[in-house]
Amino acid sequence: MSAAVFAAAPVIPSFGRGSSCVTDNKLFCWSWVREHWGDTLSKALVQHIELTLIAVVIGFAISFALALAAYRWSRLAPPIGWVAAILYTIPSLALFQLLAAVSWLGLSRTSAEIALVSYTLFVLFGNILAGLREVPADVRDAAEGMGLTEWQSLWRVELPMALPTIFAGLRIATVTVVSLATVAVFIDNEGLGAPIFDALQTTFKTELIAAGALAVLLALVADGLLVIAQRLLTPWARSARS
């Protein structure tokens, strides 16, 4: 922008060298996307996928453990659910900033991930637990009657039957994290939020649209992949669905 700053001259943001489309800040310029795919967009996309994967995997592991505990000891369920719901309600920008203000966390990927993980808990914990509790009592009785131990019944009967509900939660959590990871840019300058944030400073339209579209596409692709994974893991559900 420095080239455009002259005394008394109107401030015209400079969008660098490039085609007239870019310098005129037209709505969308393919030439810019082609030119900056490598140095800006693909890098941000990969970072965004990393942020999402880490948050969903850790969030799932924590939620799974908590849900199993709450399934076994039902008294645990309400307090865990409450804490998860409170975390889920806190606006993302506020939670990111509150975590970044913790001195040993600071502006870092760790702060971003802690917030992202905490947003997955409400949906994942709730759905894993609900999926397990929805298993009909006679099915559990049948498993017990066949001589399965409690642990065997859980892994071989109850969890497989809970899979559709668990996957529904996983889909919501994943798409949520993809969305919130764009907001993480305020404390961790990476992911697709980074090009969006840069472009907001100059209102450079092409970059705003390209990075925003990549975030939407990533959410849709992740959702689609989870649907495919669910079909592969629950072949018995296919006939029931149609």
Partner 1 sequence: MSDSGNALQFIGDHTGLLWHLTVKHLELTGAAMGIGLLIALPIGIWLGHLHRGSFLAISISNVGRALPSLALISFGVAVLGIGFLNAMVALVILAVPPMLTNAYVAIEGVDRDAVEAAKGMGMTGFEVLTRVELPLALPLIFAGIRIAVIFVISTATITSVAGGTSLGDVIVDQATYRLSGVVGASICVAALALLAQLLFTGLQRAITPRGLRVQSKRPVRLDTASVAPASTTTN
Separation of alpha carbons 87 and 66, rounded Å = 15
Q: Among residues 51, 182, 188, 190, which is the contact residue for partner 1, using CB under 8 A?
A: 182
Q: Among residues 24, 57, 134, 231, which is the contact residue for partner 1, using CB under 8 A?
A: 134
Token readout for 233 is 């893991």
Burial 80-106 (b: 16+ CB within 10 A, else e): bbeebeebbeeebeebbeebbeeeebe
Considering the complex, state which of residue 17 and residue 241 has its C-beta at the smaller distance from partner 1.
241
172 binds partner 1 (CB under 8 A): yes
Q: Which of residues 206-235 bind partner 1 (CB under 8 A)?
A: 208-209, 211-213, 215-216, 219-220, 223
Considering the complex, state which of residue 144 and residue 198 has its C-beta at the smaller distance from partner 1.
198
Separation of alpha carbons 55 and 44, rounded Å = 16
47 neighbors 190 (Cβ within 8 angstroms):
yes
Q: With CB under 8 A as the contact rule, which of the stretches 6-14, 53-61, 143-151, 176-184 interacts with partner 1?
A: 176-184
Considering the complex, state which of residue 23 and residue 152 has its C-beta at the smaller distance from partner 1.
23
Considering the complex, state which of residue 64 and residue 152 has its C-beta at the smaller distance from partner 1.
64
192 binds partner 1 (CB under 8 A): yes
Cα atoms in the 13 Å half-sphere on the side-chain side of 208: 13
Token readout for 106 is 């600071």
Q: Among residues 83, 159, 168, 237, which is the contact residue for partner 1, using CB under 8 A?
A: 168
Considering the complex, state which of residue 152 and residue 202 has its C-beta at the smaller distance from partner 1.
202
Give the shortest CB-109-to-partner 1 separation in angstroms: 18
54 neighbors 44 (Cβ within 8 angstroms):
no
Task: Write out the DSSP string of 177-241.
Answer: HHHHHHHGGGTS--STHHHHHHHHHHT-HHHHHHHHHHHHHHHHHHHHHHHHHHHHH-THHHHHH
| Interface ranges with partner 1 (CB under 8 A) | 27-28, 77, 81, 85-86, 88-95, 97-98, 101-103, 119, 122-123, 126-127, 129-131, 133-134, 165, 168-169, 171-172, 175-176, 178-180, 182-183, 185-186, 192-193, 196-197, 199-200, 203, 205, 208-209, 211-213, 215-216, 219-220, 223
